[in-house]
Amino acid sequence: MKRVLIVDDASFMRMSIKIMLEKGGFEVAGEACNGLEAVTKYKELKPDIVTMDITMPEMDGIEALKMIMQYDPKAKVVMVSAMGQETLVKQSIINGAKTFIIKPFTEDQVIQSLNKIVTA
Protein backbone atom coordinates (compact mmCIF):
# COMPACT_ATOMS: atom_id res chain seq x y z
CA MET A 1 0.00 0.00 0.00
CA LYS A 2 1.45 3.36 -1.04
CA ARG A 3 1.93 5.94 1.70
CA VAL A 4 0.89 9.56 1.11
CA LEU A 5 1.71 12.82 2.91
CA ILE A 6 -1.15 15.33 2.50
CA VAL A 7 -0.14 19.00 2.63
CA ASP A 8 -2.78 21.75 2.70
CA ASP A 9 -3.43 24.68 5.01
CA ALA A 10 -7.19 23.99 4.99
CA SER A 11 -8.10 21.18 7.37
CA PHE A 12 -11.32 20.38 5.47
CA MET A 13 -9.26 19.90 2.29
CA ARG A 14 -6.81 17.56 4.06
CA MET A 15 -9.75 15.59 5.43
CA SER A 16 -11.50 15.26 2.07
CA ILE A 17 -8.26 14.19 0.32
CA LYS A 18 -7.60 11.69 3.13
CA ILE A 19 -11.05 10.13 2.72
CA MET A 20 -10.60 9.86 -1.06
CA LEU A 21 -7.15 8.31 -0.76
CA GLU A 22 -8.14 5.77 1.87
CA LYS A 23 -11.13 4.72 -0.27
CA GLY A 24 -8.75 4.44 -3.23
CA GLY A 25 -6.40 2.06 -1.43
CA PHE A 26 -3.71 4.48 -0.26
CA GLU A 27 -2.39 4.83 3.28
CA VAL A 28 -2.19 8.37 4.65
CA ALA A 29 1.24 8.52 6.32
CA GLY A 30 0.69 12.01 7.70
CA GLU A 31 -0.57 15.54 7.18
CA ALA A 32 1.04 18.98 7.18
CA CYS A 33 -0.59 22.42 7.19
CA ASN A 34 2.23 24.44 5.57
CA GLY A 35 5.35 24.01 3.46
CA LEU A 36 7.75 24.15 6.39
CA GLU A 37 5.94 21.34 8.17
CA ALA A 38 5.74 19.41 4.87
CA VAL A 39 9.53 19.34 4.48
CA THR A 40 10.02 18.18 8.08
CA LYS A 41 7.34 15.49 7.80
CA TYR A 42 8.68 14.31 4.44
CA LYS A 43 12.09 13.65 5.99
CA GLU A 44 10.52 12.01 9.04
CA LEU A 45 7.84 9.86 7.35
CA LYS A 46 9.47 9.15 3.95
CA PRO A 47 6.13 8.83 2.11
CA ASP A 48 5.82 7.39 -1.41
CA ILE A 49 3.81 10.39 -2.63
CA VAL A 50 3.07 13.95 -1.45
CA THR A 51 -0.03 15.95 -2.36
CA MET A 52 1.04 19.58 -2.02
CA ASP A 53 -1.16 22.67 -1.97
CA ILE A 54 0.55 25.68 -3.56
CA THR A 55 -0.78 28.63 -1.56
CA MET A 56 0.00 28.22 2.15
CA PRO A 57 1.33 30.31 5.05
CA GLU A 58 4.95 30.22 6.32
CA MET A 59 6.26 28.50 3.19
CA ASP A 60 4.34 27.97 -0.04
CA GLY A 61 4.11 24.67 -1.85
CA ILE A 62 6.64 25.56 -4.53
CA GLU A 63 9.35 26.40 -1.97
CA ALA A 64 8.54 23.20 -0.07
CA LEU A 65 8.69 21.25 -3.35
CA LYS A 66 12.15 22.67 -4.08
CA MET A 67 13.41 21.68 -0.62
CA ILE A 68 11.94 18.18 -0.84
CA MET A 69 13.43 17.65 -4.32
CA GLN A 70 16.80 18.85 -3.04
CA TYR A 71 16.58 16.37 -0.17
CA ASP A 72 15.22 13.52 -2.34
CA PRO A 73 15.47 13.96 -6.14
CA LYS A 74 13.25 10.88 -6.58
CA ALA A 75 10.37 12.36 -4.54
CA LYS A 76 6.93 12.04 -6.11
CA VAL A 77 5.07 15.28 -5.46
CA VAL A 78 1.63 16.11 -6.87
CA MET A 79 0.72 19.79 -6.73
CA VAL A 80 -2.85 20.72 -5.88
CA SER A 81 -3.92 24.15 -7.06
CA ALA A 82 -6.98 26.28 -7.58
CA MET A 83 -8.02 27.32 -11.07
CA GLY A 84 -6.23 30.33 -12.48
CA GLN A 85 -2.78 29.48 -11.10
CA GLU A 86 -1.31 28.26 -14.38
CA THR A 87 2.00 30.08 -13.90
CA LEU A 88 2.41 28.46 -10.49
CA VAL A 89 1.60 25.06 -11.96
CA LYS A 90 4.31 25.56 -14.61
CA GLN A 91 6.80 26.56 -11.90
CA SER A 92 5.89 23.42 -9.99
CA ILE A 93 6.56 21.13 -12.96
CA ILE A 94 9.87 22.90 -13.67
CA ASN A 95 10.87 22.32 -10.04
CA GLY A 96 10.13 18.59 -10.09
CA ALA A 97 6.41 18.03 -9.46
CA LYS A 98 5.21 14.89 -11.22
CA THR A 99 1.77 16.28 -12.04
CA PHE A 100 -0.91 18.60 -10.71
CA ILE A 101 -4.56 18.41 -9.74
CA ILE A 102 -6.79 21.45 -10.19
CA LYS A 103 -9.30 22.33 -7.44
CA PRO A 104 -12.17 21.60 -7.35
CA PHE A 105 -11.39 17.97 -8.17
CA THR A 106 -13.23 14.65 -8.13
CA GLU A 107 -12.26 11.52 -6.26
CA ASP A 108 -11.55 9.80 -9.60
CA GLN A 109 -9.13 12.56 -10.67
CA VAL A 110 -7.16 12.28 -7.43
CA ILE A 111 -6.94 8.47 -7.45
CA GLN A 112 -6.08 8.30 -11.18
CA SER A 113 -3.35 10.95 -10.83
CA LEU A 114 -1.74 9.17 -7.89
CA ASN A 115 -2.02 5.73 -9.48
CA LYS A 116 -0.25 7.01 -12.62
CA ILE A 117 2.62 8.32 -10.52
CA VAL A 118 2.92 5.10 -8.54
CA THR A 119 3.27 3.03 -11.71
CA ALA A 120 5.50 5.54 -13.56
| CA R_g for the chain | 12
pLDDT, position 120: 75
Name which of 50, 60, 63 is nearest 95 in CA terms: 63
CB 72 within 8 A of CB 42: yes
pLDDT, position 15: 98
Percent of the chain with pLDDT over 70: 98
- 3-class secondary-structure state, position 27: strand
Please name the residues in contact with 95: beta carbons below 8 A apart, sequence gap of 6 or more.
62, 65, 66, 69
> What's the rounded Cα separation, in Å, for the pair 57 and 22?
26
Residue 109, pLDDT above cutoff 80:
yes
For 8-18, how does the pLDDT look when each residue is reduced to its tens digit (9 = 90+)? 999 999 999 99
Q: If you average pLDDT over every residue of the chain, what do you get?
A: 94
Residue 83, pLDDT above cutoff 70:
no
Q: Summarize the confidence of residues 61-73 as an average pLDDT.
A: 97
pLDDT, position 84: 64
pTM over 0.85: yes
Q: The domain 3-119: what is its CATH number?
A: 3.40.50.2300
Work out the pLDDT band at 90, boundaries 50, 70, 90.
Answer: confident
Identity of the residue numbered 65? L
